[in-house]
Every structure is written in structure tokens, then in C-alpha cells.
Amino acid sequence: MLKARIAVLVSGGGTNLQALIDAESSGVIHSGEIVLVISNNQNAYALTRAEKAGIRAQYISKKELKSQEAFENALIDALDQNKIDLIVLAGFMSILSERFTSRYDHRIINIHPSLIPSFCGQGYYGLKVHEAALKKGVKVTGATVHFVNEIPDGGEIIAQKAVEVLDGDTPAILQRRVMEQAEWIILPQAVEMISYEIISR
């Protein structure tokens, strides 16, 4: 059966990438196939996870390429060469320009570790999101999968899942619970759903 060709863009540990790899192995994702992983961080453990799973892994350096435009051109080259249908941002810590996002309209999705529109937008990434949630004292947080457009964390929402905040939570403890109870579940589900839509067109 024809499958959507998926690229996963990462910057760090890659636990969400691992959840996607595992979901493909278990059949939760069956309408898409991860064929490429790109990191903007040479030391990202996500690159090792990709290699271990036999997925092509590529490092693209923004520093060496010097400008956002050159960086995005390198991304576009890699995505086009691999005939990518769906781009998944899974802990990718670099904001993409409108020139890039409009090229892949409704073909880029992102996982964000809060219930958008809370604790999102520029400056809210990784642990900072959970620090802000704890500082505000919210009792419920969660994760959101959304389409990516030119507004950071501003695209159409695809899936959300709520997670309880507990007394004594630290940002790291809360981050882990949000990953386990929300991110690693809704990201693979959303990837399957969008992949299915793409191959059914």
C-alpha cells in the first residue's frame, strides 16, 4: 500500500521521535513511513535513535549556513530529494519563516507541551513551558498537536490531551508526565490521521 513519506525534524533527545518509530513498528502508524530525520543540532540523541532504527539521519547546521534563508533552503533540498509528504516537528527548536511554512501548507505539524493557547508562542519551548505553567499555578496542562503556519504555535489545532498538575511538581517531573500521558500518545495518532488523509487525496 502507498504510504505518506514522513520527515521528522528534531533538536534534542528525541523521545517523541522514538514514540513515532515505536508507533510505526506496532502498526499505530500504518499510513505513513518515517524516511528521514533532520536535526539542527549535531549532538542530538535523536540522530542516534534514527540511525538505530535504520532511518536516514541528517544534520543541517544553521551556524555553518549563516542565514535563516540558507538553512531553510538546505531543509527544502533534503525534503524535496526525499519526496517528503509530511513534516513532523518533534522537539525542533528553530522557528521557520513564512516562506518555508507556506511552501508546505497543511503538511507540517508540531507537538507543543501545553494546551494551546496557554504557554505558547515565541520563547515557550521545552522546560520553559512547564516552568511557566507551574509559576501560573494551573491545575491542568497538557499537549497540543497543530498545523504549523507563520505564527509560532498559531496554526490550526489537530489534537489535545489534558494532564493533571500535582502538588510538588518540578518542571522536569511535569515535563515527563506530559510526555508520557499526552505527547507520546497524541503525536503518533495525529501522524497516522494526517498520513491517512494525505494518501487518500
List active site positions: 112
* Residue with smaller CB distance to ligand GAR, 39 or 195: 39
* DSSP secondary structure string for all residues of 136-190: HT-SEEEEEEEE--SSTT-SPEEEEEEEE--TT--HHHHHHHHIIIIIHHHHHHH
Residue numbers at the binding site for ligand GAR (CB under 6 A): 10, 12-16, 46, 90-91, 111-113, 125-126, 129, 179, 183
- By Cβ distance, which residue is nearest to ligand GAR? 91
User: Look-up: residue for cell 503525536?
Assistant: 187
| Residues 195/32, Cβ–Cβ less than 8 Å | yes
* Residue with smaller CB distance to ligand GAR, 13 or 154: 13
**What residues are paired with 7 via a beta bridge?**
36, 87
* Residue with smaller CB distance to ligand GAR, 91 or 188: 91
